[in-house]
Amino acid sequence: MLLAALVLAAPAAVKAQTTSNYGTPGLIETPSAEMYPDGTLAFTSGVLDRTLRATMTFQMLPWVHGSFRYAVIEGFDGQIGDRFDRSFDLHFLLREESRSAPALALGLRDFGGTGIYASEYLVATKTFRERLKLSGGIGWGRMAGRGSFSNPLGVLSDRFKTRPDASAGGISTTGQIDFGNWFRGDAALFGGASWAWNDQLTLLAEYSPDLYSQERDRIGFEAASPFNFGARYRFENGTQLTASYMYGTTFGLSYSYFIDPRQSVAPGGQGAAPPPLLPIDRVALASWNLPDGAAAPARRQQVLAQKLQQEGLRLVYLETDGDSLRIGVENSRYGQSAQAIGRTARVLANTQPAQVQGFDIALMANGVPLSSVRIARNDLYELEHDLDSAWRSFARAEVSDSISLVKGGFTRDAYPHFSYRFGPYLQASFFDPDAPLRYEIGAQLGLDYTAAPGLTLSAGLRQPAAGNLDDSQRQSNSVIQRVRSDWGLYAQQSDLRIEHLTAEYIWRPGENLYARATLGYLESMYGGLSGEILWFPANSRLALGAELNYVRQRDFDVLFGFQDYSTATGHISAYYDLPGEYHAQVDAGRYLAGDYGATLTLDREFANGFKIGAFFTLTTVSFDDFGEGSFDKGIRLEIPVSWLTGRPSRDRLAQVIRPVLRDGGARLNVRNRLYGVTREARAQQLVKGWGRFMR
């Protein structure tokens, strides 16, 4: 669904690189030393003979890009059938191209997978007159095929002269980083040229030393010649189609699609504009502000609530204190909290009597204040039509931990509050070694009943309707406690599922502190008790949390029963909002299978909410006991729905892609972890989205 959605999005116009059928900058099969513009996401599918490679490449830093590739080689495993191969690449720019010298890059292809494509290379690329590009380099591993020679690095150390067999340890060793093999064994030269006939058409020729030895032995593919020729056509929307004649025996085709996460479908969004500020005398003369006795405040509150609702905001708290006013709202519409605050401020200015000079606006979640922003009414009037209104208003706003709530402040209708959500869902899984994509679609119902501020009873039901998630016949071969690898049994033995059924209480034990306690069926595989505390100062880049859970594994039917396995699991977490669109998270503690270890997650987060990240977990479960993949790792992608539609929405499409899901390093998926709930309203996130304050 995520990928399909991305295809609907506006593709980015990437300048004149060519992308190889491995999905990285290059010619036809060989790499070049080029980089994509920083932040670019490139999706490529390449076919030749009986091989299909689907690659996602992300330019994570201006000088580093990383790739995740899913390859299918038909008939590769003989009796067993097709080979589904997952691989990761990393590619570093060592020096930029200059007037007199070429760009230089170092690449690690398939540095941790099953090793079919494992190779390392050093490549140089030089552009002449903007049209002709020459690339040449030296490759090791798979690239050391035709014309290979003894490794020149052998002069440094004898260990470089031979390359151990990558698959010697069998499938159980896959996923271990093969530092030991890098740049070892024979080497070979490769190179090629691209010539841009015009802005659309580029002609390609290359010398690829790859002999396709494994394919030759297993599926009879013959690389008769090292020369490949191709033509690339660049469409107006920036996508590229390359057709090629390869290895003297076959034709190849590849298609690349590029996305710039900074370019949403409509730059300013197509949602309704904010209400303009009314002249203050018109507000004073509004019927609800006329001094007609005791009913005026109630009438005013009603108008306020109704006008907020029109903007997608729910009034839950209101308290006047001299010439300022404290208000709590729940935001159900805007992805950026700054926009919710801006809309609230405008509605207040258009409804409140003239003597109210300051607004303390608290964003609330289920009755819990997440933070508070103080806006002076006069600043709104002064800056509404200012050229630089967003930044000037941020400079004058004050973000603080929270408003002090008094008992009578909650509005009469605010709690209890019931909300529900009913609609389709799609669940995709990429971690079955037998099938690149498993999915399930169906209907889901979500119910939330907030009985009192902070206390919420919640249920989530799913009814699968179609899909192949439950077709998996693969039995878990895990030698440790099967805490996740039985996912196939869950899919097969369940029908109508209770995804969660919980009582949850979130509260503020003190300044800069949040706490959560959750009891019930916490997620589809575990139920029990979960407690968490988070320290998160309003203006801080750093947050620290601790979580402790006691859980029991649920029955495979995902209804009310439990299995025998129960465990205590919990983590200490540190979250840090790094400068420059990066975010780091470390979780250390005890995982579901009783293993101890830590997870490191690094995300690139764009200001508009588009996120791309990677994580890995190392625990006391040994690589051997973990099984295929050796340790838990993956990449994750999160896209705001508003990025795709241009209309305001808090929904996000999120997908975690793991090469394999097993039992080591598995964490509980409890809902509403405090950092995720609170972060949007803290200063670091508010400042990123403040461009939308006046929107």
Partner 1 sequence: MKRLWPVLSVLLLFSCGEAKDDLDLLRGALQPDAPRFHPRASALASVRPIPPRLEVGFPSRGLSGVMLLETERRGVQTWLTADGATITLEQGLLTSAKGFGSGLAGSDVRRSADLLLAAQPGTAERFHSFLNGNDQIELHAYRCEITRLGADSIFLRGVPVPVQKLEERCHGLAESFTNTYWIRQGAVLQSSQWTGSFLGNLFMKTVPDEN
Q: Is 38 a residue that touches partner 1 (CB under 8 A)?
A: no
Q: Of the candidates 267, 322, 408, 510, which one interacts with partner 1 according to CB under 8 A?
A: 267
Three-state SS for 231?
A: strand
CA 176, 179, 182, 184 torsion: positive or negative?
Answer: negative
Q: Of the candidates 153, 243, 277, 286, which one interacts with partner 1 according to CB under 8 A?
A: 277
Question: Token pair of 196, please?
Answer: 């841009």
Whichever of 636 and 647 has its CB closer to partner 1, that residue is 647
Whichever of 297 and 424 has its CB closer to partner 1, that residue is 424
Rounded to whole angstroms, the Cα distance separating 140 from 312 reads: 58
Q: Is 270 a residue that touches partner 1 (CB under 8 A)?
A: yes
Q: Considering the complex, what minimum distance in angstroms separates the CB of residue 673 from partner 1?
A: 21
Three-state SS for 471?
A: helix
Q: Is 470 a residue that touches partner 1 (CB under 8 A)?
A: yes
Q: Of the candidates 170, 408, 423, 510, which one interacts with partner 1 according to CB under 8 A?
A: 423
Contact criterion met (CB below 8 Å) for 440 and 464? yes
Find tokens 């010439």 and name the residue.
323
DSSP string for residues in 188-205: EEEEEEEEESSSSEEEEE
Q: Is 384 a residue that touches partner 1 (CB under 8 A)?
A: yes
Return phi, psi of residue 687, to 5°.
-65, -35
The torsion of the CA quartet 15, 16, 20, 24, rounded to 10 degrees, works out to -40
Q: How far is CA 290 from the centre of its chain?
A: 51
Per-residue x/- marks for partner 1, 663-692, CB under 8 A? -------------------------xx-xx
Three-state SS for 298?
A: helix
Q: Site residues for partner 1, window 165-194 (CB under 8 A)? A: none
Rounded to whole angstroms, the Cα distance separating 66 from 88 reads: 7
Q: Considering the complex, what minimum distance in angstroms separates the CB of residue 649 from partner 1?
A: 7
Residues in the interface with partner 1 (CB under 8 A) total 65
Whichever of 229 and 391 has its CB closer to partner 1, that residue is 391
SS3 string, 235-249, reads CCCCCEEEEEEECCC
Whichever of 123 and 365 has its CB closer to partner 1, that residue is 365
Distance (Å) of CA 564 to CA 536, 551, 678: 37, 11, 35
Whichever of 467 and 594 has its CB closer to partner 1, that residue is 467
Segment holding 284, helix H or strand E: helix 280-284
Rg (CA), the chain: 29
DSSP string for residues in 409-424: GB-TTTSSEEEEEEEE
Rounded to whole angstroms, the Cα distance separating 337 from 363 reads: 8
Return the closest-CA partner of residue 669 out of 561, 518, 477, 470: 518
Q: Is 236 a residue that touches partner 1 (CB under 8 A)?
A: no
Q: Is 37 a residue that touches partner 1 (CB under 8 A)?
A: no
Q: Is 4 a residue that touches partner 1 (CB under 8 A)?
A: no
Residues in contact with 385: Cβ distance below 8 Å, sequence separation at least 6, in sequence order = none
Contact criterion met (CB below 8 Å) for 489 and 469? no
Q: Is 441 a residue that touches partner 1 (CB under 8 A)?
A: yes
Contact criterion met (CB below 8 Å) for 512 and 538? yes
Whichever of 82 and 384 has its CB closer to partner 1, that residue is 384
Residues in contact with 252: Cβ distance below 8 Å, sequence separation at least 6, in sequence order = 21, 28, 46, 47, 48, 228, 230, 242, 243, 244, 245, 246
Return the closest-CA partner of residue 531 out of 571, 496, 499: 571
Q: Considering the complex, what minimum distance in angstroms separates the CB of residue 685 from partner 1?
A: 11
Q: Of the candidates 113, 442, 453, 665, which one interacts with partner 1 according to CB under 8 A?
A: 442
Q: Of the candidates 13, 443, 584, 602, which one interacts with partner 1 according to CB under 8 A?
A: 443
Q: Is 216 a residue that touches partner 1 (CB under 8 A)?
A: no
Q: Site residues for partner 1, window 140-159 (CB under 8 A)? A: none
Q: Is 386 a residue that touches partner 1 (CB under 8 A)?
A: yes
Q: Of the candidates 157, 310, 404, 493, which one interacts with partner 1 according to CB under 8 A?
A: 310
Rounded to whole angstroms, the Cα distance separating 504 from 518 reads: 4
Q: Site residues for partner 1, window 601-630 (CB under 8 A)? A: 606-609
The length of the chain in residues reads 695
Q: Considering the complex, what minimum distance in angstroms separates the CB of residue 390 from partner 1?
A: 5
Q: Considering the complex, what minimum distance in angstroms separates the CB of residue 274 from partner 1?
A: 7
Rounded to whole angstroms, the Cα distance separating 615 from 636 reads: 8
Exposed, middle or buried, 152 (CB in 10 Å: 0-12/13-18/19+)? Answer: exposed
Q: Is 437 a residue that touches partner 1 (CB under 8 A)?
A: no
Q: How far is CA 685 from the centre of its chain?
A: 16
Instruction: With contacts defined by CB under 8 A, name the span among 101-109, 273-281, 479-487, 509-517 that binds partner 1.
Output: 273-281
Instruction: With contacts defined by CB under 8 A, name the span among 105-113, 395-403, 426-434, 460-468 that binds partner 1.
Output: 460-468
Instruction: With contacts defined by CB under 8 A, name the span among 239-247, 267-275, 297-305, 669-677 that binds partner 1.
Output: 267-275
Q: Considering the complex, what minimum distance in angstroms separates the CB of residue 663 from partner 1?
A: 26
Three-state SS for 611?
A: strand
Q: Considering the complex, what minimum distance in angstroms separates the CB of residue 266 from partner 1?
A: 3
Q: Of the candidates 185, 269, 353, 597, which one interacts with partner 1 according to CB under 8 A?
A: 269
Return the closest-CA partner of residue 431 out of 634, 588, 654: 634
Q: Considering the complex, what minimum distance in angstroms separates the CB of residue 495 from partner 1?
A: 6
The Cβ-side half-sphere exposure at 153, using a 13 Å CA radius, reads 19
| Angle formed by the axes of helices 296-310 and 337-351, nearest 10° | 150
- Answer whether the bond into residue 164 is a cis peptide, omega within 30°: no
Q: Site residues for partner 1, window 325-364 (CB under 8 A)? A: 332, 336
Q: Is 495 a residue that touches partner 1 (CB under 8 A)?
A: yes
Whichever of 495 and 624 has its CB closer to partner 1, that residue is 495
Q: Of the candidates 128, 235, 251, 420, which one interacts with partner 1 according to CB under 8 A?
A: 420
Q: Of the candidates 46, 274, 409, 528, which one interacts with partner 1 according to CB under 8 A?
A: 274
Q: Considering the complex, what minimum distance in angstroms separates the CB of residue 335 from partner 1?
A: 9
Q: Is 377 a residue that touches partner 1 (CB under 8 A)?
A: no
DSSP state of 288: G
Q: Is 11 a residue that touches partner 1 (CB under 8 A)?
A: no
Q: Is 276 a residue that touches partner 1 (CB under 8 A)?
A: yes
Q: Is 462 a residue that touches partner 1 (CB under 8 A)?
A: no
Q: Is 262 a residue that touches partner 1 (CB under 8 A)?
A: yes
Q: Is 464 a residue that touches partner 1 (CB under 8 A)?
A: yes
Q: Considering the complex, what minimum distance in angstroms separates the CB of residue 339 from partner 1?
A: 9
Per-residue x/- marks for partner 1, 538-577, CB under 8 A? ----------------------------------------
Whichever of 3 and 607 has its CB closer to partner 1, that residue is 607
Return the closest-CA partner of residue 495 out of 556, 554, 438, 553: 556
Residues engaged in binding partner 1 (CB under 8 A): 8, 261-279, 310, 332, 336, 381, 384-391, 419-424, 441-443, 463-466, 470-471, 495, 606-609, 641, 643, 645-647, 649, 651, 688-689, 691-692, 694-695
